Structure 1
């Protein structure tokens, strides 16, 4: 789902990439770890590197009016890339600028500038996440508003594309497509709960509900038709659904992503 006039995020894919929102890896809850040791085994579907969206109060921003989270069309947003290497920062710039081709918005990339509206860190182990849209304005200038926790010199271009475009989509106010107001994914909920309870996520059922099953309302968002190919969609393996439904790894902007963001930030 394209968003929805926008907020700060945390993004995604499945090996599913989302919460607090997409790319954050949660620590195991002790009681769960002790009671369900069988869930600590290796997942047959592989590790899910989840990209998440973050909200100001630490929860999924479903109570927020996402329409109010977009930036002003035509604005130039200063983006400070803090840390990592020049080569990795250049990769982030390369893929983030994909949005500029279709949205009337510009990114001015700098380094180590706390006055920047979007402040990107590269903290390993902290997942990949972003605040949604203008929520970044409410974050202390000493703190990051986006993080890339697993991008390295050996990361493939397709993974850079998937993660960077996704997170900058959150920064422009887009939410996760699998939580589209009109989505009808036939989740196999017991299988999903078991999958996400295991490494590397260690999610509780409440976290799974919040990150995957809960939808945004039509009154909260501006939205287009549901789009399985959206860059904002988590990967959904067939093993986690009932019947024959799956979504692969979306690594580039879909046609609907492009037309939707152009409607949100018109030229």
Structure 2
């Protein structure tokens, strides 16, 4: 078992969500889309800064981040200091949220945030948003951009909805609806129930069938993230894992 206290050297990939496939193919029961060049080193302790948050916001953020924890070999250590590997800021004036993809966070100089959560939304939506954005922080990408997706999206209506960004800018930056080229991502079977999938109203889907936004990690999300950060099930591995988790949580 390899244990890493600090993440490795930052990826040399440019900021954004493009990456090259380098790992073996997955079994068919695992679903998802990821940037393998941007996943964290195996068994890393990730320090997570919670910035500009109330006590309640910190608690809900921790709870929803920790929904990923049992399905990875990573260790999450929360701090109020702005020196974390992942630095999350609260924005109480917007619904908007964003995150760097995996180790791209290391390319952002401290104390600048690497993730932002808009808390101007209902509590259930906040929980879903935190899970989704932290999926990005672990190296996952948007599931609805899977090259095997079955959706027929209405691009014109989507561009209109997100009119703050011009169509040209969307297209130039591989926008939120363009399928990823297969060579750029680690793939498994398309999963419409993934927490990394957007919801789309009837007006945004050409076949007029609305797609509900998933609200929790799917079984496929759990399987896929486990394939990226597999557990060491040896006796020594389990013992070390338990010991480290106790140290990190203390």
Q: Normalising TM by the smaller chain, what interval?
A: 0.7 to 0.9
> 1:131 aligned to 86, 100, 108, which one?
100
Structure 1 residue ranges without an equivalent (≥5): 1-7, 9-54
> 2:168 aligned to 179, 198, 206, which one?
206
Matches of 2:89 and 2:128, distance apart in 1:
17
Structure 1 counterpart of 2:128? 162
> 1:225 aligned to 174, 189, 192, which one?
189
Structure 2 counterpart of 1:61? 17
Structure 2 counterpart of 1:262? 226
**1:222 deviation in Å?**
1.4
Residues 167-207 of structure 1, C-alpha deviation per residue, up to 9 Å, x if partnerless? 1100000001111122242112222222222xxxx221134
Q: Is the 8 A contact 1:196 1:208 kept in 2?
A: no
Matches of 2:204 and 2:58, distance apart in 1:
35
Structure 2 counterpart of 1:109? 78
**1:86 deviation in Å?**
0.8
Segment of structure 1 superposing worse, 241-250 or 223-232: 241-250
Matches of 1:145 and 1:161, distance apart in 2:
18
Kindly tell me the number of residue pairs found equivalent between the two proteins: 204
Structure 1 counterpart of 2:156? 190
TM-score, reference length from structure 1 = 0.70
Task: Specify the structure having the higher radius of gyration (Cα).
Answer: 2
Q: Is the 8 A contact 1:182 1:226 kept in 2?
A: yes
Q: Is the 8 A contact 1:95 1:160 kept in 2?
A: no
Matches of 1:248 and 1:217, distance apart in 2:
25
Segment of structure 1 superposing worse, 100-109 or 214-223: 214-223
> 2:86 aligned to 112, 118, 129, which one?
118
CA RMSD of aligned residues (A): 2.2
Three-state SS of the structure 1 residue aligned to 2:176 is helix
Structure 2 residue ranges without an equivalent (≥5): 1-9, 22-34, 232-250
Three-state SS of the structure 2 residue aligned to 1:185 is coil
Structure 2 counterpart of 1:46? none
Higher relative contact order (CA 8 A, sep 6+): 1
